[in-house]
Amino acid sequence: MIRLAAVLGDYYHPHEWAKQTLETALNLVREDVQIDYCHPEQLPEVLRTKPDVVILFKENRYNPVDENVETWMTEELSLVITNYVENGGSWLAWHSGLASYPVEGSYVKMLKGSFLYHPEKQMIVHYTASAGNAVVPSSISFEIVDEHYFVDCDKENTNVFLVSESIDGKAEAGWFHRYGEGKVCCLTPAHNKDGLLNKNFLNVLRNCFNWLILK
């Protein structure tokens, strides 16, 4: 049995959409996956049980539209997360799992990238696989209406497997690397329910998971 822990959903991203997407993607490929859903404050306890993969689809801000914004990623928790990965864990930072985290913190340094901004209006975004990557087939190419995430990606120290393009420009949309004894994968799409359940995107998500569980 493969044990997966997932922290999903925030103010802008419904938990149920991410949950449906994740379960749809994984049910198509295998039946030996146990998914445990948890809250951020439960992560230290969850990580002590050494799940095979952790998926984060949640931004750092609890209340992004309030005057006094509260966040949950402390540097102490960031070190717990990086220690889990360094010692053989696998981590997927998915869409909002890249957003609003301290850029100088251990978590973002482990990811080797973070969300910068997206244009106000959603638009057609074209996603294309990088040639010869180890995560998704090079033939992957699809379009969805999405938030076009622009990111700060340390391309020299990671491996880009997916790129995005819209009328606003091009950006890295997926990258992967080893971190200590563990693995890290970052994926920027998708925001809308239709995009999340797009069959091509589900295939990308499934391939990310398969790479993460390969030892």
Give domain limits for the chain. Answer: 2-213
Assess contact for 199 and 149: CB atoms under 8 A.
no
What is the dotted CATH code of the domain comprising 2-213?
A: 3.40.50.880
Residue 4 φ then ψ, to 5°: -120, 130
Taking 80 as the threshold, does the pLDDT of residue 182 lie above it? yes
Q: Where are the alpha helices (DSSP H) in the chain?
A: 15-27, 43-48, 75-86, 106-111, 193-196, 199-213
Residue whose C-alpha is closest to residue 210's, from 49, 32, 85: 32
Mean pLDDT of all residues in 30-54 = 93
Summarize pLDDT for 63-103 with one digit per residue, the tens: 999 999 999 999 999 999 999 999 999 999 999 999 999 99
Assess contact for 136 and 200: CB atoms under 8 A.
no
Assess contact for 171 and 164: CB atoms under 8 A.
yes
Q: 29 falls in which pLDDT band (50, 70, 90)?
A: low
Q: Which two tokens stand for residue 139?
A: 């033939």
Q: Which residue has the tokens 């690397």?
A: 177
